[in-house]
Amino acid sequence: MRLSRNGNSSRPVTALVAAGVAVALAACSGAKVGETAAAPASGGPSGATCGTFNLAVNAWVGYEANAAVIAYVAQNKLGCKVVKKNLDEQVSWQGFGTGEVDAILENWGHEDLAKKYITEQKVAQDAGPSGNIGAIGWYVTPSLAAQYPDITDHNNLNKYASLFKTSESGDQGQLLDGDPGFVTNDAALVKNLNLNYKVVYSGSEAALITSFRQAEQTKKPMIGYFYSPQWFLSEVPLVKVKLPAYTAGCDADAAKVACDYPDYTLNKVVSTKFATSGSPAYALVKKFTWTNEDQNLVAKYIAQDKMSDEDAAKKWVEANPAKVAAWLS
């Protein structure tokens, strides 16, 4: 997972000032460019040389796992010079028109951005599903769900609000979110469901995970935003809170959202220039598909086992030659 999610997007969304893509890319908070060493360009099955492959990396470890594997294969199998760019989601899309971003590997909806950059400006193209299915929601720790079985129904949350009070939430219960940039409808949900809670941002995916881990270890009540695919759910099997069922269009007005998040068929998006370049890296991105389990395993290597992105990718690639071969065929 990942901006402030509105009803038409799916992961974090940051408000941006239109001052030019090049400036936005350079000035985005936390944005940086990291360049991996690359073998000489040798080309893929088509014989085309790869050259430079500009890959956006968004701020959650599942995406990082996607990028690690794609970058490893592009570099070691296709001879690409891979340039990873750590960017917020919306900033990544801005890079399609300038050539500064070739590919986004995990798009959580963002119908507004797809309309602008794919349909209207035609500087980007849908590159198909990644194979991952995304889900967002509210979760409590397993120990809390065992102690209060009815707490997983949103209709009962107000009677438990006092359990979740913190210095940040005052007299209300705290609903802990992650990065302020992640796609979230939570403030609207709290308001529209008349819940006595306040959304508080932990600041990052790592902080959110640490809070859930510590809450389970200490048996301290906690409710918060979370999502899958996410490796941490294999360590602490968080329990999802039942919100009003999602129906098509129930999130069309971001201010009036009173329903659960939809499931997201995550997809890849590429620049039109990249898609028509003949680069073997485009063919790789187009054919890339794997499962939530695959992503979670590589993410665990990176986040929990503290492996470098390259080592994590190498381990997975060497264990899954058939899947990699299919991407390169």
Report the interhelical angle of 309-319 vs 321-328 (nearest 10°): 100
Angle (nearest 5°) at CA 251 between 231 and 113: 75
pLDDT of residue 26: 34
pLDDT of residue 89: 84
SS (H, E, C) the chain: CCCCCCCCCCCCCCCCCCCCHHHHHHHCCCCEEEECCCCCCCCCCCCCCCCEEEEEECCCHHHHHHHHHHHHHHHHHHCCEEEEEECCHHHHHHCCCCCCCCEEEEECCCHHHHHHHHHHCCCEEEEEEEEEEEEEEEEECHHHHHHCHHHHEHHHHHHHHHHHECCCCCCCEEEEECCCCCCCCHHHHHHHCCCCEEEEECCCHHHHHHHHHHHHHHCCCCEEEEEECCHHHHCCCCEECECCCCCCCCCCCHHHCCCCCCCEEEEEEEEHHHHCCCCHHHHHHHHCCCCHHHHHHHHHHHHCCCCCHHHHHHHHHHHCHHHHHHHHC
Angle (nearest 5°) at CA 295 between 39 and 251: 120
Show the domains of the chain with their CATH numbers.
21-132+267-328 (3.40.190.10), 135-256 (3.40.190.100)
Which residues 6+ apart lie within 8 Å of 317 measured at CB? 69, 72, 73, 324
pLDDT of residue 183: 81
Q: Which residue has the tokens 């979230």?
A: 184
Which residues of the chain fall short of a pLDDT of 50?
Answer: 1-42, 45-46
Express each pLDDT in 210-253 by its tens digit.
Answer: 999 999 999 999 999 999 999 999 999 999 999 999 999 999 99
Q: Which residues of 240-276 are buried (b: 16+ CB within 10 A; e: fewer)?
A: bbebeeeeeebbeebeebbbbbbebebbbbbbbbbbe
pLDDT of residue 128: 97
pLDDT of residue 65: 98
pLDDT of residue 179: 87
Q: Which residue has the tokens 């997007």?
A: 9
Q: What is the pTM of this model?
A: 0.81
How far is the C-alpha of 205 from the C-alpha of 197, rounded, in Å? 21
Phi, psi (degrees; rounded to nearest 5) at 173: -75, 150
pLDDT of residue 41: 39
